[in-house]
Amino acid sequence: MQDHTVPSRRTFLVRTGTAGLAMATPGWLAACMARSRPTNVVLIFADDQGYADVGSYGAVGFTTPHLDRLADEGMRFTDFYASEGVCSASRASLLTGCYAPRVSIFGALTPAAQVGLNPDEVTIAELLKSLGYATAAVGKWHLGHLPEFLPLQHGFDEYFGLPYSNDMWPVDFDGVAVTEGSLSGYPPLPLIEGDEAIETVDELADQDRLTVRYTERAVDFIDRNGDRPFFLYLAHSMPHVPLGVSDAFRSSSEQGLYGDVMQEMDWSTGQVLDALDRNGVSDDTLVIFTSDNGPWLNFGNHGGSTGPLREGKGTAFEGGPRVPAIMRWPGRIPAGSVCDRLASTVDVLPTVAAITGATLPDHAIDGVDILSLLIGEEGAAPRNDFLYYYTGELRAVREGRWKRVFEHRTRSYVGVEPGMDGHPGPYAFPTVAAALYDLEADVGESIDVSGDHPDVVARLDALAEEARRRLGDRLTQRVGNEVRPPGRHGLDRVDSLQHEAVGARVVSATRSDPRYPGAGPDALVDGGVGSGDFRDGRWLAYDGVDFEAMLDLGSARRLSRVGLDCLQNQAAWILLPRRVVFAVSDDGEQWRELTPIHRPPQPDDAVRAELLAVDVGEGPVRYVRVRASGHDALPSWHPGSGISGWVFIDEVVALV
């Protein structure tokens, strides 16, 4: 596992003076108890940095002396994985120790998202805060931009940074502000301190200052807390496009702007290490450096390198989730060691808990304690397998050397011309066949050996089936039985509504789009109302088509109004229906059409639910019929102009 001799667990305990304590104290809490002070944790997280974008991993065209120093003084991992090859999902896993589907964070949350990390989830910061640690998050968050989801609500004492990706702004790739097209739908990019936006990032020059500003905040936090235990989470916005670099590093590398950015990020790491040295806490600090996923390869010379790995960000091939990872903990992690065992970002939380003596969450997590790897315990292999999820799809599983890939449609960078100088190239979207790869012999995943190893295929298929049972799989339409909900932004209303149509028989209804099936047509009369999250399971969805439904209330009765509860989130291409027409009847044959409700679409940034209702007038009513006109083409003022829009409905309401 390592490239030189490392101590056994017992030798490690003897060297650190904790062998006796270990007899009575479980795990590695003993090692920390015997030390003069608790172990600090510094977690540095890059954004879209490729596997081969560190000197010790084979970087070409730029140098990373500080990261190389970190590797020389600690451990470099060859088979370390971010949980997914995409931003928000990866970050959720890092901080909670869970695969993203378990905590229901999918893909990359946009500024239109009405969800975030659930406050019931326990983060590394919350674990350590309970032990008296000072905690700070600096940089990119991307786990919910609304106030209830920001870092201060997840165990961090302070926060400074961007709430989501630095390309989610109304600025084109050339740095010019846009007024039309998809980018124009983004709001100004806020820089947040605590819970408040203090300024906006408006131009490329503002991006140039991000790494320096983050570094200054990180170093200041260490300087202010050098006399107490602390946890620093430094999540860089770089090298995610648009690339930004200060004048001090511009044109400093042979590679170009991407190399300049990497050299400035390396400088940033050096500044953090210097701050630890200056405060005399280096020996008491675990430093972890890794990336949220692989590089965005269609940006060409503004994207990184995966070296020998296949594909990149946004895929479940090795170049998507396999990332560089370096850890240093002087006197515990053998200097200059290399680990080729499986490990993942989901393992950081339980490992930090083991080091610090923090209590693990009561709920299930997916990470394992990898301390035995860190200290070089002979034969240690705490992680036996890894699940390659991507946006809820279980695309592959790995056990040891074997990787089983399941048939799926994927983004691909093969066979298409990449972009250049900050502009993206296109993707290909092939459907890849099921396969088995031997990653020890074929890390580039080029030779399918499933026909030679049917026993391995069967074993990994069984492993995948168990994962589907627990965590679900959108590829096979499975819902996991251990999945927990995300945090959902409320709409300042109660979550249920009592009215005359609750429990009515739905005679007919337009089928919801299978991408958002909700709870089926009966959800239209269950009294439950949706949140701001259109994926919450209560909303039924209609893409570019009209909605129709007919209800039987069971008996005739007097009603004052009937209505349709609808969602608006124009940034997510969800608009109120253009027109809603109700008709009522006491016998199901003679119908009386009510006054139509006209709602021509107008620009409105608010995310809200609205009951589109009309007076019924005189006469008994048993049957209610409704038709809502969808959007086959979004209006000219919308960023998606000309493309179909959505209508989301959660309840047909009848009021006395």
| Count of positions (residues) in the chain | 656
Q: Report residue 255 as tokens.
A: 């590679």
Listed in sequence order, the residues at least 6 apart from 451 whose beta carbon sits closer than 8 Å to its beta carbon are none
HEC sequence for 413-430: CCCCCCCCCCCCCCCECC
End-to-end CA distance of the chain: 73
Which one of 87, 98, 339, 566 is the catalytic residue? 87
**Does residue 87 carry a catalytic annotation?**
yes
**Does residue 142 carry a catalytic annotation?**
yes
Pick from 316, 445, 444: nearest CA to 387: 316
Sign of CA dihedral 349, 77, 233, 345: negative
Pair type for strands 435-438 and 431-432: unpaired
Q: What angle do CA 465, 470, 475 make, to 5 degrees?
A: 55
Count Cβ atoms within 10 A of the Cβ of residue 327 and give its class: 0-12 exposed, 13-18 middle, 19 or more buried: buried
Q: Report residue 517 as tokens.
A: 């099936």
Sign of CA dihedral 516, 520, 524, 530: negative
Determine contact, residues 44/273, Cβ cutoff 8 Å. Answer: no
Q: Across the strands, what pairs with 193?
A: 160, 196
Q: From residue 464, give the alpha-carbon distance in Å to each of 72, 397, 398, 439, 533.
A: 37, 7, 9, 18, 29
Q: Report residue 359 as tokens.
A: 């209590």
Pick from 269, 263, 236, 258: nearest CA to 248: 263
Read off the DSSP letter of residue 359.
Answer: P
Q: Is 208 helix (H, G, I), strand (E, B) or coil?
A: helix
- Chain-centre distance of CA 224, in angstroms? 31
- The DSSP-derived string for 382-446 is ---EEEEEETTEEEEEEETTEEEEPPEE--B-TTS----TT---PPB-PEEPPEEEETTT-TT--
Q: In this structure, how many other beta carbons lie within 10 angstroms of the beta carbon of residue 294?
A: 32
Q: In this structure, how many other beta carbons lie within 10 angstroms of the beta carbon of residue 304?
A: 29
Which one of 142, 240, 489, 499 is the catalytic residue? 142
Element (H, E) at 258: helix 257-278
Element (H, E) at 268: helix 257-278
Q: Write out the catalytic residue numbers.
A: 87, 142
